[in-house]
């Protein structure tokens, strides 16, 4: 076993410390011990030196981390690609490249996201996710969870960067084509517009099959959103974006997402997709129900230039998020550690922002073996510096090489 001690730990949504985390030989957390509680706005202790070379901590060692914060690994629920690679067309090497890259930014698990495509292509994406998950299991890289199918059951009035010609209604026949014989263990959630014909039955069918339903790319009213939540929908995809705008007489999907305790909302905090005041509003209105997501596409970590998201051509910009040729936002070039820092820069407490990237997304899709520093959870950890820069990452109890 290896025991890590740190001045501050994130446990149960609070920064406490000092404390220790003991990593078992089975890749899980054996024990967590913490004392006291630190105010959310208190600065961490100064970090001056490292804790040894990556991979250089021998089993059975006691390692003192000199400052900073120790948290569970981050979970990104919406990741289309990175470093010039689109997951929709990635081979085994491409999956490993992305998973390795994500780990260096503190992401230890992610939901590969596939935008609108023919239903048969989405089935292939589920199979590709299952294959990648098996191939990368146990490797010191970010682990793929189930796929996130963002379409094709979206509103043609709110397509965003999706190919409008490929959108369709979630009819029983379309659900048959998607689900029958598919590896549903490799399908985490499906984004759909709840106002579409057939959506109510689709929500109930997906939920009964163990697939989480997320609401997005939608003109849904507040009442339609509430009805979808009652039927089993539990997530909202990139809050505020590609949704009916809030007004005081028809608050729409965004307002219901913030006020309905059944719904957890993904939020892209790249300081472009959502204005600072809207970010602050979301965290204030829905405490514990905001999950930071990157919505990263191949542009994340790549040089400016053209790339593809599924069937759509987009362009990585030298400054700002990627866009289509007509200027439409096309995902982001965000990394999740940057989202944490951005949220904190807007006044969100560090413990709240860190929880929104760890425990909240993990719980939202039922990944109860990760997201928290707790005995029995996976030994996926991130050590953060005072400025919330990632200093070290452990996956399955193994410290990875951030280089």
Catalogue the long-range contacts made by 376-379 (C-beta closer than 8 Å, 24 or more residues apart): 376/28, 376/29, 377/28, 377/29, 377/72, 378/27, 378/28, 378/29, 378/73, 378/108, 379/23, 379/24, 379/27, 379/28, 379/29
Tokens of 117: 């495509």
User: What are the two backbone dihedrals, phi and then psi, of residue 6, each rounded to the nearest 5 degrees?
Assistant: -150, 145
CA 387 to chain centre: 21
CB 21 within 8 A of CB 9: yes
Alpha carbons 283 and 351: distance in angstroms, whole number:
12
CA atoms within 13 A of residue 364's CA, in its CB half-sphere? 34
Alpha carbons 61 and 193: distance in angstroms, whole number:
51
Alpha carbons 381 and 51: distance in angstroms, whole number:
14
Give the CA-trace dihedral at 166, 167, 170, 174, to 10 degrees: 0
Alpha carbons 110 and 371: distance in angstroms, whole number:
12
State the DSSP code for 194. T
User: What are the two backbone dihedrals, phi and then psi, of residue 165, each rounded to the nearest 5 degrees?
Assistant: -70, -15
CA atoms within 13 A of residue 393's CA, in its CB half-sphere? 23
Alpha carbons 142 and 82: distance in angstroms, whole number:
13
Beta-carbon neighbour count of residue 149 at 10 Å?
A: 29
Percent of the chain that is helix, strand, coil (3-state, to 5): 25, 25, 45
Catalogue the long-range contacts made by 118-125 (C-beta closer than 8 Å, 24 or more residues apart): 118/152, 118/166, 119/152, 119/168, 119/174, 119/177, 119/178, 120/177, 122/149, 122/151, 122/152, 122/178, 123/177, 123/178, 123/182, 125/88, 125/149
Annotated catalytic residue: which of 270, 295, 337, 380? 295
| Distance separating the N- and C-terminal Cα atoms of the chain | 25
Catalytic (active site) residue 385: no
What amino acid positions are annotated as catalytic residues? 295
């Amino acid at each position: 076993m290896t025991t890590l001690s740190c001045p501050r730990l994130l446990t149960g949504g609070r920064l406490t410390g000092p404390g220790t985390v003991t990593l078992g030989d089975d890749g899980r957390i054996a024990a967590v011990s913490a004392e006291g509680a630190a105010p959310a706005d208190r600065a961490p202790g100064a970090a001056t030196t490292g804790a040894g070379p990556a991979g250089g901590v021998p089993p059975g060692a006691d390692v003192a981390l000199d400052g900073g914060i120790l948290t569970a690994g981050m979970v990104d629920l919406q990741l289309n690609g990175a470093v010039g690679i689109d997951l929709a067309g990635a081979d085994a090497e491409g999956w490993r490249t992305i998973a390795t890259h994500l780990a260096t930014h503190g992401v230890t698990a992610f939901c590969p996201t596939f935008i609108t495509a023919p239903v048969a292509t989405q089935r292939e994406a589920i199979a590709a996710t299952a294959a990648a998950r098996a191939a990368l299991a146990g490797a010191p890289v970010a682990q793929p969870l189930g796929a996130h199918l963002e379409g094709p059951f979206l509103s043609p009035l709110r397509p965003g960067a999706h190919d409008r010609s490929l959108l369709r209604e979630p009819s029983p026949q379309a659900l048959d084509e998607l689900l029958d014989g598919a590896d549903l263990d490799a399908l985490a959630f499906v984004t759909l517009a709840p106002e579409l014909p057939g959506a109510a039955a689709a929500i109930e069918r997906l939920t009964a099959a163990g697939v989480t339903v997320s609401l997005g790319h939608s003109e849904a009213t507040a009442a339609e959103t509430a009805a979808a939540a009652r039927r089993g929908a539990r997530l909202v995809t990139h809050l505020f974006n590609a949704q009916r705008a809030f007004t005081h007489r028809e608050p729409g999907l965004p307002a219901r997402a913030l006020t309905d305790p059944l719904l957890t909302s993904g939020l892209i905090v790249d300081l472009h997709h959502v204005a600072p005041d809207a970010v602050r509003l979301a965290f204030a209105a829905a405490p514990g129900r905001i999950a930071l997501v990157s919505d990263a596409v191949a542009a994340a970590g790549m040089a400016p230039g053209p790339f593809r998201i599924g069937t759509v051509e987009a362009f990585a910009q030298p400054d700002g998020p990627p866009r289509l040729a007509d200027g439409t936002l096309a995902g982001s070039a965000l990394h999740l550690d940057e989202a944490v820092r951005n949220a904190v820069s807007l006044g969100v407490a560090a413990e709240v922002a860190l929880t929104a990237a760890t425990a909240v997304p993990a719980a939202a899709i039922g990944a109860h073996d990760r997201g928290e520093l707790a005995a029995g959870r996976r030994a996926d950890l991130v050590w953060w510096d005072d400025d919330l820069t990632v200093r070290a990452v452990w996956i399955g109890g193994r410290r990875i090489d951030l280089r």
